[in-house]
Amino acid sequence: MNLPPEFALIARHFRPLAGEGALDLSDDAAVLDIPAGRRLVIAADAMVEGVHYLPDDPPETIGRKLLRVNLSDLAAMGAAPLGYLMTTSFGRGVADDWIAGFVRGLAEDQREFGLALLGGDTTGTAGPACLSLTILGTVAPDAVLRRAGARAGDDVWVSGSIGDGALGLRVLRGEIPADAAGHLARRYRLPEPRLALGQAIAGLARAGMDVSDGLVQDLGHLCRAGGCGAEVEAASVPLSPAARALVAADPALLSSLLTGGDDYELLFTAAPEAAATVQAAAARAGTPVARIGRMVEGRPAVVVRDATGAGIALAQGGWSHF
């Protein structure tokens, strides 16, 4: 009995990714147990060819980016990874080699982040590829990091560096020259989910989320959820050396870094007296963090100030994929 291409594709490419509970991807669903004393954390993010990644991005990094943007949602909740399901609608005529590369990237990140495929579905589309991933994680009941909870007076913190992903996209589009080390393009293609940091600050941070739609817009979410405003000192926002060099040459670029997407850093607030503890937790997690401003009384709005204290005009509120 010959099986149609859909099943052959699953057997050849996806079955090797399957983990415990996936039932070898041969049943109608996965069956698993959540460890005692842990809560289930679950999120789903999709990526569309030409919207969230470029058609000529390497397939290895596309699979990894899909997994990592979802892992970033777990990080934002203070959760640890458990597994994932994935539905792929590949464009008609996708090459077997391309799928092999996509899967190779997933396999690499499964090892790096300690999780495995639990199930999903594979189909075709006449349009751009649509990739959807559902991520499962767990968290201790008293260590859930939420968006609500910021208070006026809190410090605002962000991990890593801001703006690399948005600059990387412009590099890959040929709009600006690439940095010699390829740092910016790599940051666009391979975000770094801050899982260790998320777990380290859960309980310390008053509110937190990941920055996926631009720092200013996402800080606006923390404002709305907390019923307060925020002030950011532009000079305190951490930039990579590559981004810093570009901003030095063109200071107007800064505004687009603060509102660009694809950062996948953690943004959180904490009481000022917790600052040293936050720094210590971040050091244990091996992730740099920077204090970029504070939450303030008033309506939910974000003001970014330059070195003179003047507000900086921002080109756009953030990035919408719709």
How many residues appear in the chain? Answer: 322
149: left (phi > 0), else alpha (psi -120 to 50), else beta?
A: left
Q: Tell me whether residue 55 or residue 286 sits nearer to a copy of itself (CB atom).
A: 55
CB of 249 to a copy of itself, least distance (A): 29
Residue from the set 11, 19, 46, 104 that interacts with a copy of itself by CB under 8 A = 46
State the SS3 of 77-141: HCCEEEEEEEEEEEECCCCHHHHHHHHHHHHHHHHHHCCCEEEEEEEEECCCCEEEEEEEEEECC
CA gap 224, 309 in Å, rounded: 24
Examine residue 119 and tell whether it contacts a copy of itself (CB under 8 A): yes
Q: Tell me whether residue 72 or residue 287 sits nearer to a copy of itself (CB atom).
A: 72
Environment class of 178 (CB within 10 Å of its CB; exposed 0-12, middle 13-18, buried 19+): middle
Examine residue 210 and tell whether it contacts a copy of itself (CB under 8 A): yes
| Biggest CA-to-CA distance, the chain | 75
Pairing of strands 289-296, 130-139: unpaired
List the interface residues with a copy of itself, window 127-156 (CB under 8 A).
127-128, 130, 132, 134-137, 139, 144, 146-148
Residue from the set 31, 95, 181, 235 that interacts with a copy of itself by CB under 8 A = 31
List the interface residues with a copy of itself, window 1-20 (CB under 8 A).
1-7, 9
Examine residue 115 and tell whether it contacts a copy of itself (CB under 8 A): no
CB of 218 to a copy of itself, least distance (A): 10
Pairing of strands 229-233, 302-305: parallel
CA gap 45, 171 in Å, rounded: 25
CB of 97 to a copy of itself, least distance (A): 16
Q: Which of 291, 293, 289 is nearest to 309 (CA)?
A: 293
CB of 237 to a copy of itself, least distance (A): 19
Residue from the set 107, 152, 190, 225 that interacts with a copy of itself by CB under 8 A = 225
Answer whether 40's CB lies under 8 Å from 32's CB: no
Structure-block tokens of residue 76: 């934002």
Structure-block tokens of residue 193: 């989910």
Answer whether 194's CB lies under 8 Å from 265's CB: yes
List the interface residues with a copy of itself, window 58-77 (CB under 8 A).
72-74, 76-77
List the interface residues with a copy of itself, window 251-290 (CB under 8 A).
none
Residue from the set 11, 19, 48, 190 that interacts with a copy of itself by CB under 8 A = 48
Residue from the set 67, 215, 302, 304 that interacts with a copy of itself by CB under 8 A = 302
Per CB under 8 A, which region of 113-121, 170-178, 249-257, 286-294 contacts a copy of itself? Answer: 113-121
Per CB under 8 A, which region of 165-173, 214-222, 248-256, 274-282 contacts a copy of itself? Answer: 214-222
Question: Around Cβ 142, how many Cβ atoms within 10 Å?
Answer: 8
Residue from the set 13, 14, 17, 41 that interacts with a copy of itself by CB under 8 A = 41
CB of 180 to a copy of itself, least distance (A): 34
Examine residue 194 and tell whether it contacts a copy of itself (CB under 8 A): no
